[in-house]
Amino acid sequence: MNQNKINVMTPKFASDFVCVGSKCEAHCCNSWDIPINKQSYKALKKFGDIEIRQLVTSNFKLTRQSESNYAEIKMSDNGDCAMLDETNLCKIHKKCGPKLLPYTCQDYPRKPHWFGNQAEMSMSLSCPEVVKNVLYDPDAMMITSIEQYEHQLNHGNIGGFKPTEGPSYLPLVRDFCFSVALNSILTFEQKLFIIGLYLKQSDAYLNNLERLSQLADSFHSMISDGTLTKHYETLPSTPSIKWSFFATQDFHLVTTQYQTQTVSFSKIKKFDAFIECQQMLMNSLHTSQDTDTQGKDNYFTVANPEREHFKYTEILTSSEKYLTEHFNQHPQILINFLLYSLYNDQLMVNLGKKPYDYFKFLTIDALMLKSYLSGIALQQKGLTKEWVVKLFHSYFRRRQHNLGLFNQINTNIKKAEEQSEYLIFSLLKD
Ligand code: SF4
């Protein structure tokens, strides 16, 4: 066992986290693949309580892939874990305590990543309690350093690059992005624009730290003298392109989920908060004749990239007042979202992406979230914390369980860049 002690940078949103268990609106384990390690499997198999032994016999499938993946829990048709009781409490947790839970369940929603010699503790936005902490606590991103044994941190399952393996440019480039995110004069869209432009220009110098640092200095000067905000103002507004990006992505976000699961819409609806949020926008679009997912049982509306960008643009405009009102009441929401993303995603370098690619994914996320928030705000005549949390956790849960989405986004971006390599920036413009 690794007895190394490491520094773990821990933001307040993570140290404040408390799982609300049966009161949770999300059932975090729904539709997961949950591997069981050999030790837990053997202990549960001969546990004193007969109900647990029976549950293991009828709901655990042996895989024997490795010590950590020795068996799997079979999910029911609607994606629920078979171990949940009628009040949605986990029976293993209730009767056997947390130590016998699969590591996945013990660790979620924690997501530590290496960053140099230290680890950065983060948490997944697919958990609603994490969303509340990240978006609604003005101090969410205050970080303290905690010393911890490496093997105790998510059972040693730490993501990102191991110490000394990460790209040397990452701290410098990310620090520049943080400094822009923290600038109190710039709007959210201007911040994204400046970060994107810097990441685009830094692409050619990722192996030259001195040049990267000079580039950051020159960007800071251009922020101070207003050059970059003037540049932002000259960006064209491209509503039809925006709609095309949104609609293509929406179609994919919705339909891939149903093509990979054989559950009826009535059952899906029970837990699918994302569809509830997405349908708010679809209702505002009045897309009754639009493309629907295949099969009568799974009938619901998705966006059609070929139509309706006028209506979509109108919705974005008319909901602006509701979004502004909510963001004025909670001025930390957008800045925390940006800081969290930069911190948590580490510019996606561990996924083999270049920093500029990361900017494009972040821009599409911002577009999708803003669009859905607009639909919700119009239907509800305002935004509430409950709806914002519902949208964010369900959107990120959908993203997390659908890695094919990244390929889809990539394809869309490449197609757009055939028209103009700067087209992605126009998505930031109203
Ligand atoms: S989603 Fe979060 S709050 Fe809900 S049960 Fe899972 S860990 Fe707990």
Domain coordinates in residue numbering, the chain: 1-25+109-166, 29-107, 169-233, 239-426
Q: Collapse the DSSP code of 72 into the 3-class scheme (helix H, G, I; strand E, B; otherwise coil) and give the result.
A: strand
- Asked if residues 177 and 342 have their Cβ atoms less than 8 Å apart, the reply is yes
CA of 19 to the centre of ligand 1 (A): 5
Residue 391 in this model has a pLDDT that exceeds 70: yes
Residue 327's CB is within 10 A of a number of other CB atoms, namely 17
85-135 pLDDT, tens digit each: 877 788 888 888 888 888 888 899 999 999 988 999 999 999 999 999 999
CA of 102 to the centre of ligand 1 (A): 15
CA of 254 to the centre of ligand 1 (A): 23
Residue 295 in this model has a pLDDT that exceeds 70: no
20-64 pLDDT, tens digit each: 877 887 777 766 778 898 888 898 988 888 989 998 998 899 999
CA of 191 to the centre of ligand 1 (A): 32
Order across the sheet with 5-11: list the strands. Answer: 113-115, 118-120, 5-11, 143-149
Nearest Cα to Cα of residue 301 among 251, 349, 258: 251
C-alpha to C-alpha distance for 11 and 108, rounded to whole angstroms: 16
- Do strands 113-115 and 5-11 pair parallel, antiparallel, or not at all (unpaired)? unpaired
Residue 266 in this model has a pLDDT that exceeds 60: no
- For position 268, what pLDDT does the model report? 52
Share of the chain above pLDDT 70, in %: 90
Q: Collapse the DSSP code of 329 into the 3-class scheme (helix H, G, I; strand E, B; otherwise coil) and give the result.
A: helix
Choose the residue to mutate in 16, 20, 81, 397 for probing ligand 1, maximizing ligand atoms within 8 Å of C-beta.
20
Nearest Cα to Cα of residue 333 among 282, 378, 284, 387: 387
Residue 137 in this model has a pLDDT that exceeds 90: yes
C-alpha to C-alpha distance for 206 and 208, rounded to whole angstroms: 6
C-alpha to C-alpha distance for 71 and 56, rounded to whole angstroms: 10
Atom of ligand 1 nearest to the CA of 20: 3
Kindly state the tokens that stand for 155: 């059972």
Residue located nearest, by CA, to atom 4 of ligand 1 = 24
Atom of ligand 1 nearest to the CA of 108: 7
Residues lining ligand 1, judged by CB closer than 6 Å?
Answer: 19-21, 24, 26, 28, 108-109, 127, 129
